[in-house]
Structure 1
């Protein structure tokens, strides 16, 4: 997760002031932009980006593109407070049953959508992007759009991915939960009608 800013240094200072830990000095990425990597209070890695020659993703929500970034955390209240302060996006808790706690972020002043949220998991639950024995207290998971989740899941499995959550229907489309051969969690979501519009 790497939100975009036009005023990099001020927003980097804001994130540090909110309690982020720097994972290295901010750096220029040739002529493409300026970036920094940080860790939140629970250790989840995120970044900040100021575009130069490249503005942003060319597409969202279409097949073979990114749909969403999601923080899986055991401390949703702390994470919500932190990311609101660190990013400037407004938190919007989602309504649901007591066992389902989710915060969606955005928009920032000016109307820019955040495209990220935070989901609370109980400590030790095995439903996150990594197995319960390996999973940290917090981690970012990216959702990739595919035209056919079942086929994409089968293909990913044949390439060495572990499937932690088989394809299943949800309110947001058909999804699957996986971890790649290097231990990085990700999700697949089936393209829905009207995506990318």
Structure 2
């Protein structure tokens, strides 16, 4: 498969201390099934499926210093060329491009504010086989303290077409692929102000969203499974959303679309 334009979110994974516990939590919460033959040479990187289609992955930590977190990957037809643009725009490479044969080539980068994201140049693994539907990825956004700097960086590196939203309470900008008309029909993510409502020690970061059929029921199930609801369900112009934290500390958002 293919079809992800450069800069489009194409994959997401969670780095966890306990892979088995992660499979139990997300299997119960999202209805995911998992690849039971994850290769040892790739650190038992475990693919999650919804309705038999690839939607995400769970990754066992290699050491305790790695953060427990969800991460997003952006499509990169040429990872090496994107790495040059990232450095030129003030970002840095956390992990230089490395081949993961036969699946593709990956790299990990950080923007000037420190928000970390991945790059994925597809081989046999193109990325999401399902998105925008319950049980699958539907959105991502970066929380930035210096929003003007973040906008300059992502729009220079990926050519994102930005659109500021007037209907939100804070500083929010949506992104659409390069060359498209910015708007709700083309947007795949955005940039949000990391303002005073957040702890001062919280760094810039990405938040990954998954679509669900019932936001309130999923939030309640998260609590029952040992996770936390860090932002209670609330109506927004595009549906109803909440921010959850799993039972190991990885945060993500859910969205029940209108």
The bucket for the TM-score relative to the shorter chain is 0.7 to 0.9
Ranges in structure 1 where 5+ consecutive residues have no aligned partner? 127-131, 193-197
Aligned to 1:195: none
Contact between 1:146 and 1:152, CA under 8 Å: does it hold in 2? yes
- For 1:42 and 1:52, locate their aligned partners in 2 and report how far apart those are by CA, in whole Å: 30
Confirm or deny that 1:135 pairs with 2:202.
Answer: yes
Runs of 4+ in 1 over 3 A off after TM superposition: none
Counterpart CA distance in 1 for 2:164 and 2:105 is 31
**Partner in structure 1 of residue 142 of structure 2:** 71
Give the TM-score normalised by the residue count of structure 1.
Answer: 0.84
Q: CA deviation at 1:159?
A: 2.1
Q: 3-state SS of the aligned residue for 2:166? A: coil
Could you say which residue in structure 2 is the equivalent of 1:25? 96
CA deviation digits over 1:107-146, x for unaligned, max 9?
Answer: 21378x56120011313x14xxxxx26522x110011111
Q: Is the 8 A contact 2:104 2:122 kept in 1?
A: yes
Deviation, 1:32, is 1.1
Partner in structure 1 of residue 244 of structure 2: 178
Paired residues for 1:16-165 under 5 Å: 16-96=87-167, 99-109=169-179, 115-123=188-196, 125-126=197-198, 132=199, 135-136=202-203, 138-165=204-231
Alpha-carbon distance in structure 2 between the residues aligned to 1:122 and 1:10: 33
Does the CA-based 8 Å contact 1:16-1:86 persist in structure 2? no
Contact 2:161 2:180 in 1 (8 A): no
Q: Which has the higher strand share?
A: 2
Q: Deviations over 1:43-92 (max 9, x none)?
A: 11011111111222112210100110011122111111111112222222
**Other structure's SS at 1:23 match:** strand
Classify 1:105/1:172 alpha carbon distance in 2 versus 1 (closer, same or farther; 3 Å): same
Q: Unpaired runs of 5+ in structure 2?
A: 1-71
